[in-house]
Amino acid sequence: MDIFQILTSSAWSILMIAVFFGGSIFVHELGHFWVAKKRGVKVDRFSIGFGPAIFKWTGKDGVEYRLSWLPLGGYVALPQLADMRGLEGEPTGDVESLPSPSYTTRMLVFGAGAFMNVLFAFALATILWKVGLPTSADMQRAKIGHVLPEIELPDKTKVPSPAAKAGLRTGDTILAIDGNAVGTWDEMRQMLFTGAGRTEDGRPRAVLTVRRGEETLTLTAEPVLAGDERMRMLGVSPFERLKVGEVRAGSLAERAGLQVGDVMIALDDVPLGGGRDYVAGLRADPAKPGRLVVERAGETVTLVVPPRADVQEPADLGVAFESDLILIHPTPWKQITDNVRMTFRTLWSLLHRGSDVGISKLSGPIGIARVFHMTAQIDIRYVLWFTIIVNVNLAIFNLLPLPVLDGGHMLFATIGKLRGKALPHGFIHTAQTVFVAALLTMMLYVSFFDVRRWSRDARAEEPAEEAPDPAASPASAPDALPVVVPVK
């Protein structure tokens, strides 16, 4: 890639981050701001980012608008509703003389940010519903293509793959994990990652409901923690339909009689679930001819692959496969509900002692920017797809009943309403101070892992064997789970 391509791709990524990530924070704060104004609540400041201002101005309404140096979220300073001077700075004017807003006003103002995020996500989901999202047809089912005989652990040792030990085969379709239905490859991965099943001696366990031909089987696997992120893995890759897109002149493929449009089914009576199976089959006994079964124009044809001692690399085969890309049109409701369900599933796994998901698996602002950068290089529709995920996560995370977050303010307001008087100011201030420190510490911790992931991308390491990316489609589960952004 030349310097011009680097500059233009980086500029485009920065624009996408600013518009869609910055826009997600903006609409959240706009919700608080707009409802506060409508309900007559004093607004001191509207800030995108924290810390000192890059630039600021005071509007005719007396509100200070600013863009701040730390792009870790944003806030609307509402001194009548919450004393957040440790995070937002000193309030202006005499706060004590201001009337205390009603319980209804507090709930509406604090809930408005999450509502706006959901509304924004729904609007983007409607666009995707209409224009469609490109993806691999093979990824729209949890059908197994290749079962690894072994899987490599983080310490570089190799162990028998859980899939092979459990008896999974090429062509099996996983219907459910631990009783939770899955419909796509990515749903299967996420359900596996966030699983909390354990054997009696404490090893990870997953109960798989599998369709094999006309049968439905129940298999028990013991996933291992593997890959760069040490996620639960089985040692399988998704099924790939091997449709021939190109046959090079004079190649082994041409000598075998392959034609453009052929779909490879089996080699020497071994079903082919992907290009890896095809290459492995050709290398298994290269001195002998091979029997290749293909589907051609609706009929089954058997071809003879000549001896192939010269086959060393996949490029030597002389065949290129056609990506089976399709456009999917999930309804806005399905897009939102799927993301809500998986966000709650992930948060549940964070709290469950049987899960292997920890805080290091979360993704903060740096990780969010990383995925925006990745998706921006491919197709803006993937940017919209990821923005929907971000906004659903923002809404749910900020409604958690924790001090500093919107949900914490709503909890304090509700407790005050039930007890007939507000909680002591000192108690609220202490709780918020503690949680501000805890939240910022968590953000730094999460950011360390985000930087490591981005650095790994830059080194262009080989992808994990468990999760290849057919058709180079990023519309799959991110390698870090929920997003975390401290907006209020």
Concatenate the DSSP letters of all residues of 33-72 into one string: HHHHHHTT----EEEEEEEEEEEEEE-TTS-EEEEEEEEE
Neighbour count for residue 390 (Cβ, 10 Å):
25
Long-range interactions of 265-269: CB distance < 8 A, separation 24+: 265/293, 265/294, 265/295, 265/300, 266/292, 266/293, 267/291, 267/292, 267/293, 267/305
Higher pLDDT, 11 or 106: 106
> How confident is the model over 241-250, as pLDDT tens digits?
999 999 999 8
SS (H, E, C) 212-269: ECCEEEEEEECCEEECCCCEEECCEEECCCEEEEEECCCCHHHHHCCCCCCEEEEECC
Same domain, 119 and 185: no
- The last residue of a domain, from among 209, 237, 265: 237
The reported pLDDT for the residue numbered 309 is 75
Same domain, 48 and 149: no
Q: Note whether residue 479 is domain-resident.
A: no
Same domain, 197 and 123: no
Same domain, 12 and 129: yes
The reported pLDDT for the residue numbered 468 is 36
Whether pLDDT at 485 is above 70: no
State which residues form the domain around 212: 142-237
Average pLDDT over residues 119-147: 95
Whether pLDDT at 462 is above 60: no
Question: Number of folded domains in the chain?
Answer: 3
Q: Note whether residue 305 is domain-resident.
A: yes
Whether pLDDT at 15 is above 60: yes
Q: For residue 209, what is the domain's CATH number?
A: 2.30.42.10
Same domain, 230 and 109: no
Q: Pick from 96-105, 121-130, 320-329, 436-445 the range whose average pLDDT is largest.
A: 121-130
The reported pLDDT for the residue numbered 135 is 92
Name the pLDDT band for 313 (thresholds 50, 70, 90): low
> How confident is the model over 323-375, as pLDDT tens digits?
888 999 999 999 999 999 999 999 999 999 999 999 888 888 888 999 999 99
Higher pLDDT, 166 or 1: 166
The reported pLDDT for the residue numbered 312 is 63
The reported pLDDT for the residue numbered 275 is 84
The reported pLDDT for the residue numbered 483 is 58
Tokens of 52: 């000192």
> Which pTM value belongs to this model?
0.88
Whether pLDDT at 43 is above 70: yes
The reported pLDDT for the residue numbered 277 is 85
> How confident is the model over 20-40, as pLDDT tens digits?
999 999 999 999 999 999 999
Residue type, 206: A
Backbone phi and psi for residue 145, each to the nearest 5 degrees, phi listed first: -100, -50
Cβ contact 192:182 at 8 Å? no
Same domain, 208 and 256: no
SS (H, E, C) 1-29: CCHHHHHHHHHHHHHHHHHHHHHHHHHHH
The reported pLDDT for the residue numbered 364 is 87
- The last residue of a domain, from among 263, 293, 323: 323
Q: Note whether residue 342 is domain-resident.
A: no
The reported pLDDT for the residue numbered 365 is 87
Q: Note whether residue 429 is domain-resident.
A: yes
Higher pLDDT, 176 or 228: 176
The lowest-confidence range among 74-88, 110-124, 291-305, 412-426 is 74-88
